[in-house]
Amino acid sequence: MIELTKLNGESFILNAGLVESIEATPDTIVRLTNGKRFIVREKVSEVVERAIEFERRIHYISIPQPGEVAAGSADN
């Protein structure tokens, strides 16, 4: 989920997994896979960066450093 701002200044949370496309016309338009669209204050690059960061957070896998024991391993 990412936080964006509508043109009227209202913040909202968007499920980044539903984003189909983002375009600048010059306003930034975020189109979703369900056909909805939002015009937001953020630039295209900001929306993309927030979506990438969201994906990084949900796919993050902790890799133990040498000498550490992985969480949930049988050795704990």
Each domain of the chain, given as residue ranges in start order, spans 2-22+33-58
- 71 compared with 53, residue with greater pLDDT: 53
Residue 76 has pLDDT above 60, yes or no: no
- For the residues of 55-66, what is the DSSP string, one character each? HHHHT----PPT
pTM of the model: 0.74
| SS3 (DSSP) at 19 | strand
Contacts 24+ apart (CB under 8 A), 28-33: 30/4
CB of 25 closer than 8 Å to CB of 33: no
pLDDT value for 72? 53
What tens digit of pLDDT does each residue of 2-54 get?
Answer: 999 999 999 999 999 999 999 999 999 999 999 999 999 999 999 999 998 88
